[in-house]
Amino acid sequence: MEELGPQIKKVIPSASKIEEYSGVLPGALLEYWRSYGWGGFHDGLFWITNPDDFSPVIKAWLAHVNIPKDSDYHVIARTAFGHLYLWDRQSGQTITISPHYSQIFTCPADSDIVSGNSDFSLKCFFSGQAASSLDFDDYKDKPLFKRAVKKLGILESDEMYSFEPALTIGSMPKLENLVKVKMVEQLVLLEQLGDVEVLHMDVSGHI
């Protein structure tokens, strides 16, 4: 967690809120909530989130995904550009939403989750969050985040960087097209602007 860098906009959830997610999310994540709360890292490039905030977003986006009825997905983290990481206690971090390109990435259930080791899986997820992979590249394959902060300012916890017009209706991923918007409202809107593409990623056969 310390490698994620200094924290911004930190909010420590109440003990009752943490208890509400006991048995739903990994114990390791709830310990992170107690110690670090919800907030941004890397100047707001990566955020640990309050899952409650994303209920309308999950409802909108997962209508297009064929998932088991007993699945219960929660957004546990997101990027400055609204890239969402979803967790299900039966399968782990198996759904990722890339809103600007109207894509949902799915992968098979995490073997550690299946064997009952959700804490290890959760720690692996967080340890793999490098700043270079969390950024959003422009049309010249150059990262946008630092330039977005300089132009638009650091995000609040309920904000994200988005493109105007949206990429799905013909815009280009350029700095001049970036705006700072309210996150939940924008994510719901982006789902409505184009056909959602579901891509299944399975790398197990290559490991």
Give whole-number Cα distances, 4 to 31, 41, 44, 48, in Å.
Answer: 16, 6, 10, 11
Structural domain contains residue 17: yes
Beta bridge partners of 85: 77, 96
Give the structural domain span for 128. 2-202
Structural domain contains residue 32: yes
Radius of gyration, alpha carbons of the chain: 17
Q: Which amino acid is at 123?
A: K
Cα atoms found within 13 Å of the Cα of residue 35, Cβ hemisphere only = 8
Structural domain contains residue 175: yes
Structural domain contains residue 207: no
The terminus-to-terminus CA distance of the chain in angstroms comes to 26
Q: What is the pLDDT of residues 147-195, one digit of tens each?
A: 999 999 999 999 999 999 999 998 999 999 999 999 999 999 999 998 8
Query: Helix 27-36 and helix 118-127: axis angle, to 10°?
Result: 50
Structural domain contains residue 94: yes
pTM over 0.75: yes
What letter would DSSP give residue 188? Answer: H
Q: What is the pLDDT of residues 123-142, one digit of tens each?
A: 889 888 888 889 999 999 99
Task: State the CB neighbour count (10 A cutoff) for residue 17.
Answer: 15
Q: How many domains does the chain have?
A: 1
Q: Is the dihedral of CA 109, 114, 116, 121 positive or negative?
A: negative
